[in-house]
Chain A
Amino acid sequence: MVANSHAPAGGKGQATVVVDRISMRYRVPSTKAQPEEARGRIRMIKRVLGQTPMVSVQALNEMSLVVERGESVGIVGRNGSGKSTLMRLISGQSAPTSGAVFASSVPVMLGVNAALVPELSGDHNIVLGCLAMGMTRRQIADMFDSIVELSGLEGAIHLPMKSYSAGMASRLRFAIAASVNPEILLIDEALNTGDAQFRERSKSRMDELREKAGTVFLVSHSLETINELCSRVIWIDKGDLLMDGKPKEVTETYADFARNLSKGNGFSAAKLRDDARRNLIATKVLERSPGRRSA
């Protein structure tokens, strides 16, 4: 119980994000030779059709979290540990394989990947994106110049998006997403690919949003940033929740773990991981609403 001093007593605070027993499994094609699991006709047919065998990848094992208004939650973990998957589930960009995420308002994710409508010009994409987020034409007109400024695209804003470099497209997408002031904000810095100038600009906008938002989730590879900005940190490894507590404690353990791994001390690293997990206070969500009691 000591490590979890943040834990609210009996949910007195106002929960804004409730992650209830979610897990995520992807089915993806694999080029690796498969054990003879699907024998016979189906396997034959698949081979004739040139279908690569599918494998399941468990991205996130069952976990629950309750986050309250005013909390800034940092998420740390190695590459491929499930940080971005968790963020995608909380923001509703993917549906979990099992479980559900509840939120007090629509969570908005500030990621910076992928283009929008490649045939349309940057300015058309801005209007389209803002309309999709439910803004009115008047609000868009007010925000338009600041979006263009934040994206740093200047003249290129009138060119079709397919002519943009990856960095330009991601800057534009970030600028569009950052134009609303969400109550629940998710920031995936691990995806940030902008140049130094853009990083400076986007940081100030993120700070602004973070101050206004009631609840923030932050993924960053910089433990410094996490320590500075977050009031609570969770550590995920290979899809498992290992630690959930005060920023300094969690980031130090995680840094220790990463240092051991990079030095090749697999055994010490595994011990750190197991110890962290052994001290974890997991959460179980009980529904309290009348008539919808969970067993």
Chain B
Amino acid sequence: MAKIGSQPALPEPAAVQSMPIDTRGLIRVGARPAFVDYLIQLWDHREFIFYDAKARVQSGNRRDRLGSAWLVLNPVFNGLTFYFIFGVLLGTSRGIENFIGYLIIGVFIFQMSARAITNGARSIQGNRAVIQAFNFPRATLPIAVNVREILAGVPVILAMLVLILLFPPTEAVTPLWLLVIPALFLQTVFNLGVGLILARVISTINDVTHLLSFAMRAWMYGSGVFFSFDQFIENDTVLSIVQLNPLYVVLDIVRDCVLYATLPEWRSWAILSVWGLGVLAVGIVYFWRAEESYGCE
């Protein structure tokens, strides 16, 4: 093995003594626990997860003068831009009932996923100092990001509903609005799964962070945030494939409940549940398998 600053070889040691060691009762330092033990450890660190989430929500927008108001202002400005370009200039609003409400839901809900996935993906790379300082199950970090997004998302969702009530045509508040909660829960489960997968990828291949913003933009165009697929896609097969997109399904469910007072189809729930639980299961196993490597640069 060539070394930097080569030096003459050292003499061999005088002797080698063999030491029989009983490795029962000893654990390998930094070893990845068995999967079930890992889940138990995650549960034991729930207070860490919640504390991390809470502390970072409070400190998140401290640099801005308007502070947490940006959580709401951001999608509002986004929505305004889309409204003028797509709604007024290009006229994608034709044929959509209550386009403003349609757009508000699209922008607000999509933004929640975009934030959760992007932040979850960076949670390992951005927390090396904590990872190297303490021994704890690393999956707590992406989980904490998603808890943080839920905490930050509650006022955002309330603002979204208020905006929908403010703009005409005014929608009636129905018990169906409550179905928004399970839809958003499944959305969060899905976000966490994607975040876990990306967090592992980015911890070794940092280049993926550069692709992430493009991927999220493409995903947004593919999720019917400010137009309806029904007008543009004639082919039924293509349409049904596009409608398998989990984020599109979330938007569809929320719009059905809030705007159109329709009970979402069971098929939508099934698609969303399969995506959410499936991706989470894949994500947690995939993340756990590299548990030992996250401390390295």
Contact = CB atoms under 8 A, between A and B. Distances in A.
A50 B232 CA distance: 44
Interface string B114-153: 0000000000000101101111100000000000000000
Contact of B30 (A11, A92, A120, A282): A92
A52 to B, nearest CB: 15
Given A11-B19, A173-B133, A289-B23, A134 B44 contact: yes
Interface in B12-57: 12-30, 44-45, 47-48, 51-52, 55-56
A100 interface: yes
Interface stretch (B3-11, B168-176, B266-274): B3-11
A240 B4 CA distance: 14
A287 B28 CA distance: 13
**Interface band, chain B:** 35 or more
Given A95-B30, A131-B47, A289-B23, A57 B132 contact: no
Interface in A191-232: none
B231 interface: no
A284 interface: yes
A248 interface: no
Contacts, number: 164
Contacts of A15: 21-22, 26
Interface string A94-120: 110000111111110000001111011
A14 to B, nearest CB: 9
B4 A124 contact: no
Nearest to B134: A132
A265 interface: no
19 contacts: A11-B21, A55-B4, A90-B29, A100-B29, A102-B28, A104-B26, A105-B27, A106-B29, A119-B59, A127-B55, A132-B45, A132-B135, A133-B134, A277-B13, A281-B13, A282-B17, A284-B19, A289-B22, A289-B24
Interface of B: 1, 3-4, 7-8, 10-30, 44-45, 47-48, 51-52, 55-56, 59, 62, 127, 129-130, 132-136, 292-293, 295-296
